Amino acid sequence: MATKTVTDASFQADVLDADKPVLVDFWADWCGPCKMIAPALEELSDEMGEQVTIAKMDIMENPDVPGKMGVQSIPFLVLFKDGQPVAQQMGAAPKNALKGWLESQL
């Protein structure tokens, strides 16, 4: 399973109304740390796709949701369960750290 691209227009359906937890990676093309964690998130999507959807939202193309969420620094990861943000992590981390954090929250 590849990561899912989410937009301001699809956020309600893809994240808030999702039937399983969704990890949203708020990122931008110019962000070096965002590019560093992208391969790890792709791998986690493949490994954990049954448990969680991993989604990416480009904050430059989609300013509304990040603005409402108060995203001020990227990469910024937010885990949503039942339409509610339940955990967040700021900054880049190695894949094993991201996986451990995500598993502890599911």
Q: Name the phi and psi angles at 76, rounded to 5.
A: -130, 115
Residue 1: band (very low, low, confident or very high) from pLDDT cuts 50, 70, 90: low
Inform me whether the pLDDT recorded for 87 exceeds 70. Answer: yes
The predicted-structure confidence for 5-60, as pLDDT tens digits, reads as follows: 999 999 999 999 999 999 999 999 999 999 999 999 999 999 999 999 999 999 99
Catalytic site positions: 31, 34
pTM, to two decimals: 0.96
pLDDT of residue 18: 97
Indicate if the pLDDT at residue 67 is higher than 70: yes
Domain 4-105 falls in which CATH fold? Glutaredoxin (3.40.30)
pLDDT of residue 2: 87
Q: Across residues 56-81, what is the average pLDDT?
A: 97
b/e string for 36-65 if b means 16 or more Cβ within 10 A?
Answer: ebbebbbebbeebeeebbbbbbbbeebeeb
Gap between the Cα atoms of 20 and 80, Å rounded: 9
**Domain spans in the chain, listed from the N-terminal domain onward:** 4-105
Q: Is the pLDDT of residue 70 over 70?
A: yes
